Amino acid sequence: MALATAAPRGQQADPGTPAFEAETLKHFQALLQRDTSSPPGNEIRAVEYLKEVLDAEGIPYQVFAKDPQRPNLVVRMKGNGKKKPVLIMGHTDVVTVDPKKWTFPPFGGTVDGGYVYGRGTVDDKDNLVAALMLVLHIKRAGIALDRDVILLAEAGEEGAPDVGAQFMADNHLDAIDAEFCLAEGGGVVRSGGKVRQANIGTTEKEPRPVEIIVTGPAGHGSVPNQNSAVLAVSAAVTKVGQWKPPLRLNETTASYFKRLATMAEPAVAQQYRALLNPDPKVHGPAEDWMLVNEPGHWSMTHTSLVPTIITTGFRYNVIPSEAKATFDVRLHPDENQDTFLEQLRKVINDPKVEVRWARDRYRPAGGSKLTTEAYTVLEAMVKKHYDTVALPTMGTGATDMSNIRAKGPQCYGIGPATDTEDGQKGFSAHSDQERILVDELHRFVRFQYDVVMELARTK
């Protein structure tokens, strides 16, 4: 493992300079080369590297671990305390890979044709390296701060928040508590090589699966049984599939569609405007259009229930005595969870069908305001670096911001620019392969740096 070389004092390279970018790339590649795929995670490999870099600079840190192989690392750059801290999160784990599907090694960090290839390039070692470069520069340049800048390199984002964000929020909140936090969960969309929109994650839906179970008489498959568990569960799944929970708009989505309507093709813009119309005769058809044409946008404005698992039966000539279906339910943050199952039971309308939550709440829904200092700064920096409008966005998936938001901080999801075409080619987060444009990595590092400086630097 190569030790990071510290720039001599007083000669620190500023963001945007070739030396700064070369160092960014070096740390980025080193982090990508540490296989932290989860499961099992082994985030300690990334943490060991971060410790080496920080030790070489004389920057102190703390390590908190529920599982010794899966530690979280916290760096606090002290400010004068005039304002409450800002927290920057980056997760050290990545999703698993199928090496056969990779042109370049998944843990190689290969640079080729203007891209860096590797698992974690856009999820989430980009955020992590940006936060690392930020604290290194604060230290080297001796920047005076009005608020502490905290870096949290967190474990377990990919499916194990109990060792990462949830563990930190529940057990070590004092180490990371902040007024604002920045994390993955947003990003800039490019298509045809041009920036189209910049999404700032301000709220997200809450995942909470539901299962339905029917037990009934078993019997011989040669004799029809109208009360069979299989038939009852199938009928229930069909009814749920046809159910459309009501349209729900909030500050984020209302603002999102209003702004998107100013940027979209006229026919599509008309649908967005119709969606915002309170008259059901106007927004109803727009909802239907969206469900077919832009299901992601439909999900942003509704609680969604998608059947994902049906289990029953073991041989063709036996009518099984039990059948079960599981729904991936993504609750809108305004959904009433106390009455939701009751509504669902009414939709299914069959007393034989038991309806229950498949797990407790683990990523509580929450939202952050659009009227904060941080949001205003994010909007201004989006304009400066990407020359586009910031769109507050509701994530249909969940991020670790949910655990932090639940404790009070206002959290905003950010990310580098990626090409929509690249997603279609299978290079996005969690895809068969993953890559980032080198130039967009550097632009994102400058963007994040400017955001934090605007929020924290003593003026």
Residue ranges in 157-186 that form contacts with Zn ion under rule CB under 5 A: 184
For the CB of residue 60, give the shortest distance to Zn ion in the complex, in Å: 27
Of the pair 90, 245, the CB lying nearest Zn ion is at 90
Of the pair 121, 312, the CB lying nearest Zn ion is at 121
| Pairing state between β 115-117 and 111-112 | antiparallel
With contacts defined by CB under 5 A, how many residues of the chain interact with Zn ion?
3
Distance, CA of 377 to CA of 279 (rounded, Å): 35
For the CB of residue 321, give the shortest distance to Zn ion in the complex, in Å: 42
Three-state SS letters, 72-97: EEEEEECCCCCCCCEEEEEECCEECC
Of the pair 123, 154, the CB lying nearest Zn ion is at 123
Q: Evaluate the CA torsion angle 207, 390, 452, 134 in order and state its sign.
A: positive
Rounded alpha-carbon distances, angstroms, from residue 177 to 59, 130, 180, 238, 398: 20, 20, 9, 45, 20
Of the pair 184, 434, the CB lying nearest Zn ion is at 184
**Residue 124 found at the interface with Zn ion (CB under 5 A):** yes
DSSP 113: T
Cβ atoms of residues 88 and 149 within 8 Å:
yes
For the CB of residue 458, give the shortest distance to Zn ion in the complex, in Å: 32
**E strands, 9-92, in order:** 37-38, 62-64, 72-77, 86-91
Other residues' Cβ atoms within 10 Å of the Cβ of residue 339: 9
Structure tokens at 312: 């029953």
For the CB of residue 241, give the shortest distance to Zn ion in the complex, in Å: 30
Rounded alpha-carbon distances, angstroms, from residue 336 to 36, 208, 237, 304: 37, 13, 22, 14
Of the pair 35, 454, the CB lying nearest Zn ion is at 35
Binding mask 45-64 for Zn ion (x = CB under 5 A): --------------------
Binding mask 183-212 for Zn ion (x = CB under 5 A): -x----------------------------
For the CB of residue 399, give the shortest distance to Zn ion in the complex, in Å: 7
Distance, CA of 119 to CA of 106 (rounded, Å): 5
Residue ranges in 79-98 that form contacts with Zn ion under rule CB under 5 A: none
For the CB of residue 409, give the shortest distance to Zn ion in the complex, in Å: 18
**E strands, 100-167, in order:** 111-112, 115-117, 149-154
Binding mask 302-341 for Zn ion (x = CB under 5 A): ----------------------------------------
Q: How far apart are the first and last CA of the chain?
A: 39
For the CB of residue 90, give the shortest distance to Zn ion in the complex, in Å: 9
Of the pair 70, 302, the CB lying nearest Zn ion is at 70
For the CB of residue 184, give the shortest distance to Zn ion in the complex, in Å: 5
Of the pair 166, 250, the CB lying nearest Zn ion is at 166
- Closest by CA to 303, choosing from 282, 322, 330, is 330
Of the pair 114, 426, the CB lying nearest Zn ion is at 426
**Member of 21, 23, 93, 123 binding Zn ion (CB under 5 A):** 123
Q: Which residues bind Zn ion (CB under 5 A)?
A: 123-124, 184
